[in-house]
Amino acid sequence: MEGTIITKKESINRVSLSQRLKGYTRRPLSAVLLLATLVAATITLGAVFVLLSNIFTRGIPVIFSTPELFAWEFHSSNLSMMPAIITTLIMIVLTLIIAAPVGIASAVYLVEYAKKGNKLVKIIRLTTETLAGIPSIVFGLFGFIVFVNMMSLGYSIIGGAFTLSIMILPIIVRTTEEALIAFPDLYREGSYGLGAGKIRTIFRIVLPGAVPGILAGVILSIGRISGETAALIFTAGSSTGLPDGLTSSARTLSVHLFALVSNPQAPLDMFFDAAYATATVLVFTVVGVNMLSNYIAKKFNVKN
Amino acid sequence: MNVTKNPKIAALKESAVKAMFATAACASILAVFFICLFIFWRGLPAMFEIGVWDFVSGDVWRPTRAIFGILPMIVGSLYVTAGAIVIGVPIGVLTAVFMARFCPAKLYLILKPIVELMAGIPSVVYGLVGVQFLVPLLHQIFPQEASGASVLAASIVLGIMILPTVINVSEAALRAVPNHYYEGALALGATHERAVFFTQLPAAKSGVLASVILGVGRAIGETMAVIWVAGNAPVIPGRILDSARTLTANVALEMGYAEGLHQSSLFATAVVLFVFILIINLCFTMLKRKS
C-alpha cells in the first residue's frame, strides 16, 4: 500500500505536528492542496453517510414494525416483497447458469489459447469493453425486441435472465481472465512436464486454482443482477405474484422498488415505506456481496 | 482415469475443446453485433419516417399528435451529464489523490470498502434517496420553483453515482505512477503536496481522463437514478433549476404503453443514445491505445 510512504518518511525523518503546521503556513499552496483533498474525501464520505442514513432511518423501523412486508403473497394491502426476493434469487441462479460457463470459457480461450497479437482476441477485447459500456436500458430494449417479441416469450423470467446474462458477461470474462493470468505458469509447465495434455491441464490444474478469483467475479455479478432495473422492466415485467414458472412475468427486488415509487396510487406513505424497506434489503445485499467477494479475494491473495 | 491412448483421437479432442472455447469467446462479439443490429433495425426506419433531421433537431415531443422531436432530450442528457461531471470529477479525482497519497493506512481500510459499497448500491436506491431527500431539500432552498426536480437535482445524484468510477480508476492510475517521480520532486525541495499534484497527477493524466470518460458513459446511460429527480418535462431546460428529460428517461417512461410509430420513435431515441455511447467508447479505446 502506497499510504505507507508517509509513515516510512516519518520514521526516517520525524516531523512534529507543530513543525508541520509551521511548514504549511510558510507554503500556503501546499496547505490549500491538502485541504482540497480532505474536503473532497469528506464530501464523498458525507454523501455515503446521507444516503445510508436516509435509507436506514426509514427502512429499518418499517422492516421491524411491519412483518407483513415479508408475507408469502403480495396484496395491494401488504405490499409484500417476498415474491420479489424469491424472483431475485431465481433470476440470479438462472442468469449465472447461462452466463458463467460462457464467460469462463471465453476467458480460458483468451488466456490459455489465444496467441499474442491475434486479431480475434483484439476484437473480443474491444467488444467485451463495448458491452461493459452499453447502458442497461439499451440491454432492456434489445431483450424486449429479441426475447419478448421475436422469440415470443412475452414478459418472462427467462427473457430477463437472457438479457442480464449478456449484461454481466464482461464482468465474468474480466475477473476470470485476471484470475487465470495471476495463476503461476509453473503449475502449467509442471502439468505438461508430467505428460498431461492441454485439456487436462486446464480442467484439472488451471481452473481449480483460479476458482477463488472466478468466484469473486461471480459474486460481483450477483450484486449487479440484484441491483438491475432498467434491463428488466421491459423483459421480465413487473408482475407482483410468485412466478409459476420460468416463462411467467415477475419482478426482482429492484424492479419492485421501482414499481412502488412509480405507482401513482393514493396511500403514498405506505408505498414509500415499502420502498424504503426494499431499499434497506438491497443495500444489505450489496454489503454482504462485497464482504463475501473481498473475503474470497483476500484468501486467494494469501494463497499466492 | 481413462487416458486416451490413440494420439489421433487425443489431438482431435484437443482441437474440439479449443473450438468450443473459441466459440464461447465469440459470444461477446455476437452480443454486440446483435444489439447494434436489432436496435438500429427497429429504430432507423422510424427515424427515416419522421425525417432524421426533424427527429434530432425538433424541439417538440408530442406523441399524441405524432410530433417526435428529441432535441429536448438530447440537450437534457447533455446538461445532466455535464452537471454530473462538474460535480463528480473534482470531488472524485481529489478523493482519489487523498486515498492514494495522503490517506493513513488505517483510514484507507475503511475508505476503500465504502467506495466499493457506493459502486454496488443499485441505481434505484440512489433515485429513491434523490426523490425523497434531495428534491424536497432543493425545493426548500429554492421555494420559488415549482419543484425541486430539476437538472441540478439530477446532476447531483449522477455526480455522486459516478464518484466510485472516477475514484477507482483515477486511484489505480495514480498508484501506477513510478515512485521516482515523487522522490525526484522531493529531492528538488517540493513539499509532499506539490510533489503529488505537480508531478504524479500530471503523470497519471491519461488514467484520470479515462475515469472521466467512463463517468460520462455511466452518467449519460443512467436511467433509474434520474427518472424521479429530473422532472421529465420534454422541454429544453433554460436554467439548472428547470425540469429536464433525458434520452434514457424518454424510453423508460413511455415504452410501457407506446405503440406503432410512437414505439418505434422510442427505439430511435435509443439509437441516438447508443451513438453517444459508441462515441464515448471509441474515445476510451483511443485513449487506452495512446497510453
* Interface with A, mutate which of B91, B126, B128, B265 (most A CBs under 10 A): B128
Distance between CA atoms of B107 and A171, rounded to whole angstroms? Answer: 28
Average pLDDT over residues A202-216: 89
Residue in chain A lying closest to B98 (CA): A37
**CB neighbours (10 Å) of residue B94?**
25
In this complex, the residue of B18, B121, B248 whose CB is nearest that of residue A137 is B248
How far does the CA of residue B27 sit from the closest CA of chain A (Å)?
A: 7
Contact call for residues B163 and B92 (beta carbons, < 8 A): yes
pLDDT bracket for residue A3 (50, 70, 90) = very low
* B108 touches A: beta carbon within 8 Å: yes
Residues A218-242 pLDDT 10s? 988 999 999 999 999 999 988 888 8
Contact across the interface for B102 and A101, Cβ inside 8 Å: no
Between the alpha carbon of residue B282 and those of residues A110, A127, B86, B231, B276, the distances in Å are 22, 11, 22, 31, 10
- Strand ranges (DSSP E) for chain B? 61-62, 67-68
> Does residue B43 belong to any structural domain of this protein?
no
The answer to whether the Cβ–Cβ distance between B105 and A275 falls below 8 Å is no
Let me know: does A108 contact A201? Beta carbons within 8 Å. no
Query: Higher-confidence residue: A19 or A292?
Result: A292
Which residue, A85, A57, A52, A81, is CA-closest to A271?
A: A81
Of B290 and A156, more confident: A156
Residue B273's domain comprises 71-290
Q: Is residue B197 in a domain?
A: yes
**pLDDT at residue A170, as a whole number:** 94
Name the pLDDT band for A303 (thresholds 50, 70, 90).
low
CB contact under 8 A, A47 and B28: no
> Is residue B269 domain-resident?
yes
pLDDT tens digit sequence for B208-238: 999 999 999 999 999 999 999 998 899 999 8
- List, as ranges, residues 152-211 from B with C-beta within 8 Å of A: 160, 163, 167, 175, 179, 182, 191-194, 196-197
> Which fold does the domain A74-303 belong to in CATH?
MetI-like fold (1.10.3720)
* Residue predicted with more confidence, A301 or B200: B200
Tell whether the model's pLDDT for residue A10 goes beyond 70: no
What's the pLDDT tens digit per position in A35-91?
A: 999 999 999 999 999 999 999 999 999 888 888 888 777 877 788 888 899 999 999
Q: Tell me, what's the pLDDT at B92?
A: 96
Q: Is residue B52 part of a domain?
A: no
Q: Which residue reads 462479439 in cell numbers?
A: B29
> Can you read off the three cell numbers belonging to residue A174?
474480466
pLDDT at A263: 77
CB-CB neighbors (< 8 A) of A34 in chain B: 102, 193
**pLDDT reading at A256 higher than 70:** yes
Q: Which of A27-31, A267-271, B132-136 has the highest mean pLDDT?
A: B132-136
CATH code where residue B194 lies: 1.10.3720.10
* Assigned C-alpha cell, A153: 416469450
Is the CB of B223 less than 8 angstroms away from the CB of A40? Answer: no
Name the residue facing A289 among B100, B120, B281 (closest C-beta): B120
Å between B273 CA and nearest CA of chain A: 9
> In chain B, positions 259-278, which contact chain A (CB-CB < 8 Å)?
266-267, 270, 273-274, 277-278
**In B, which residues are within 8 Å of A297 by CB distance?**
none
Q: Does B137 touch chain A (CB under 8 A)?
A: no
The answer to whether B174 and B99 have CB atoms below 8 angstroms apart is: no
Residue A267 has a pLDDT of 55
Q: How many structural domains are present in chain B?
A: 1
Q: Is B258 on the interface with A (CB under 8 A)?
A: no
- Nearest CA distance, A76 vs chain B (angstrom): 20
pLDDT of residue A1: 43
Extents of the domains making up chain A: 4-65, 74-303
Count of pairs with CB atoms under 8 A, one residue in A, one in B:
273
SS3 assignment, position A230: coil
Cβ atoms of residues B95 and A44 within 8 Å = yes
Q: What is the mean pLDDT of chain A?
A: 87
Q: Report whether B269 contacts B250 (CB < 8 A).
A: yes
- Which of B33, B95, B108 comes nearest A3 by C-beta? B108
The per-residue pLDDT for range B9-49, each reduced to its tens digit, is 888 888 888 899 989 999 999 999 999 999 999 999 999 99
What pLDDT is attached to residue A180? 92
Return d(Cα A165, Cα A117) in angstroms, integer: 28
Average pLDDT (B244-267) is 91
Mean residue pLDDT across chain B: 91
Segment B92-121, tens digit of pLDDT:
999 999 999 998 999 999 999 999 999 999
**Nearest Cβ partner of B25 from A124, A145, A170?**
A124
Amino acid A142: pLDDT? 95
- Closest residue in chain A to residue B220, using alpha carbons only: A135
Q: Determine, yes or no, domain membership for B58.
A: no
Question: Is B217 part of the contact surface with chain A (CB cutoff 8 Å)?
Answer: yes
